[in-house]
Amino acid sequence: MVAAVAVLRRRWGRRVAAAAAVGLLLARCAVVERFASWPPAGWRLVACDVGQGDALVLSAGPGSAVLVDAGPDPALLARCLDELGVRRLPMIVLSHLHADHVDGLPGVLGRLPVGEVLVGPLREPAGQWRSVRRWVDRAGVPLRTIGAGAGGRAGAVCWTVLAPRIVLHGTDSDPNNDSLVLSARVGAASILLTGDMEATAQRLSFGDPQARAGLRADVLKVPHHGSANQDSAFLAATGARFALISVGAGNDYGHPAASTLRTLRRAGMSVARTDRDGALAVVAPGTPPGTGQPGQRCPEPGANPSARLAAERDPVSVVRRRSGNGS
């Protein structure tokens, strides 16, 4: 079988004995490295290594997936999906219309069967919106606008939109702040997908305790590639044990910010990032007790994070593929 060694920080190096010891100590909360086959068995989410941008693949069943954002590069997206064995996409969600989240769309539209494309209510930037409409129309795929409260099931993926509840205007970046925020459950793993939302929307949309409760998840897709513009209370309210950062090596934006990395670690999260770790897979059992099974009702967002379902053994882990785009 595949060997896995816990790798948490680069400075620990690759000394096998030390890594093995660390792995034993931190097995409950570690990012492990996959030396052989990809994807790992039981993957529920993969953050593709697409450089500076987001492309997140949720496993809906054999050969089927929900795609959240398409990254900046059609070829990189197509390669990631091919490696995962994805042959159809019942649903594509675009968190917002910036190029690093939508320009990869031609890598799937017209190439794989796609059920529908879902977008948020903001039509900015206008040029990107025109491009998205053109690609979607050409592929003959339905396009639907959604906001907070939307949700449903696509195969094994339960999903609920938490934001935007109102469309914000006049912020530092309206496209970023009006990002669709999704709570997803795939098998035993609960995942919070946050697009590029910034501190303004994090405070306005999730300031009250009821909204905060819906944020709880095993895995946080860190907003906006780990930029410095974060509300630390929002990040902590997720209660996540794993933080995934989708980011390009040597990017011009300084992502991820050292301050954000510190905040995530202080909140108890193991941080993995595509620029150093390559594609990242969330691995979890497919059928947690009472949730996520075909025909069953989807759980409420934030309900029963798996840590509380399995006190003895943590059922969710994160596997890094290899060195990332910056290595």
Examine residue 73 and tell whether it contacts Zn ion (CB under 5 A): no
Q: Select from 1-9, 147-155, 193-201, 208-216 the region that touches Zn ion (CB under 5 A).
A: 193-201
189 bridge partner residues = 186
Structure token pair of residue 326:
């910056």
Binding span for Zn ion by CB under 5 A among 121-129, 133-141, 191-199, 228-236:
191-199
Q: Which tokens belong to 235?
A: 């990040």
Minimum distance, C-beta of residue 97 to Zn ion, in the bound complex (Å): 10
**Which part of the chain contacts Zn ion (CB under 5 A), choosing from 93-101, 160-168, 179-187, 237-245?**
93-101
Question: Which amino acid belongs to residue 49?
Answer: D
Question: For the CA atoms of 190, 95, 59, 290, what is the dihedral angle to 10 degrees?
Answer: 30
CB of 282 to Zn ion, least distance (A): 20
| Runs of H (alpha helix) within 208-289 | 209-213, 232-237, 258-266, 274-277
Determine the interface stretch with Zn ion among 13-21, 26-34, 95-103, 296-304 (rule: CB under 5 A): 95-103
Should residue 174 be labelled a site residue for Zn ion when binding is judged by CB under 5 A? no
Cβ at position 256, least distance to Zn ion in Å: 12
Among 33, 49, 69, 100, binds Zn ion (CB under 5 A): 100
- Closest approach, Cβ 224 to Zn ion, in A, equals 6
Residue with tokens 């929307």: 201
Q: What are phi and psi of 71, to 5 degrees?
A: 70, 180
Nearer to Zn ion, 73 or 100 (CB): 100
CB nearer Zn ion, residue 7 or residue 168: 168
- The size of the interface with Zn ion (CB under 5 A), counted in residues, is 2
**Which run of H or of E encompasses 193?**
strand 189-193
Looking up tokens 């995942």 gives 191
By beta-carbon proximity to Zn ion, the closer residue of 33 and 100 is 100
Token pair, residue 8, equals 């948490």
Beta carbon of residue 105, minimum distance to Zn ion (angstroms, whole number): 14
* Alpha carbon distance 278, 48 (integer Å): 8
Using CB under 5 A as the binding rule, whether residue 196 contacts Zn ion is answered as yes
Give the nearer residue to Zn ion in terms of CB position, either 103 or 231. 103
- Which residues are CB-contacts of 80 (< 8 A; sequence separation ≥ 6)? 46, 48, 49, 50, 55, 57, 279
Among 21-29, 84-92, 97-105, 230-238, the segment contacting Zn ion (CB under 5 A)? 97-105
Give the helix/strand (H/E) hosting 128: helix 126-139
Q: Where does this chain touch Zn ion (CB under 5 A) — which range of 98-106, 203-211, 214-222, 237-245? A: 98-106
User: Cα(249)–Cα(229) distance, rounded to whole angstroms?
Assistant: 19
Tell me how far, at minimum, the Cβ of 128 lies from Zn ion, in Å: 12
In terms of Cα–Cα distance, which of 269, 204, 191 is closest to 235?
269
**Which residues contact Zn ion by CB under 5 A?**
100, 196
